[in-house]
Amino acid sequence: MRRLNLAKYRVSVVVIGPEGRTVTKEDDYDVKGSLVAILLAPALQLSGSELRRNGKIADKVEAATDEIALEDAEYVVLQDALDKVRGFGKNDRELVERVLGAETFDANAGA
C-alpha cells in the first residue's frame, strides 16, 4: 500500500490585478481536487471501464481527509494517469513529488 499526503500547500499565483497589472499572491493548492482532475482527465482517453475504475479511486480521494492509503493497484492507476497528463508547472511540483514519492507501508504489519 501507499500513503499519500492530501493536505493543501501554499503556492504563488500570478493574477491580473487592478488596472491590468500582474500581482503575485499566495494561495492554497487543492491537492485532492487536482488528483481527481488528473484521474478523470479527458487526455487519458479512458474507456468506460477505465472511467469507472478511475472514478472509484477519485471518489476515495475526495472522501479522504489529509491522508489516504491506496492499494498498490490504485496507486499504479494514479501513477499512470500522472505520467500521461501533460502541462504540469512549478506549482504542481509538490503534488508530483507527493505521488511519485508516496511512502510504501504494509497494512498488515502489527496485525
- pTM over the 0.85 mark: yes
Task: Give residue 14's pLDDT.
Answer: 86
Q: pLDDT tens for residues 18-71? A: 788 888 899 999 999 999 999 999 999 999 999 999 999 999 999 999 999 999
Angle, helices 48-63/31-39, rounded to nearest 10 degrees: 170
Residue 78: burial class (beta carbons within 10 Å; 0-12, 13-18, 19+): buried
Task: Give residue 110's pLDDT.
Answer: 65
- Region 68-96: what's the mean pLDDT? 97
Contact 105, 3 (CB under 8 A): yes
- Region 71-97: what's the mean pLDDT? 97
Residue 111 — very low, low, confident or very high, per pLDDT cuts 50/70/90?
low
Q: How many CA atoms lie within 13 A of 59 on its CB side?
A: 6
- Region 6-23: what's the mean pLDDT? 90
d(CA 27, CA 13): 7
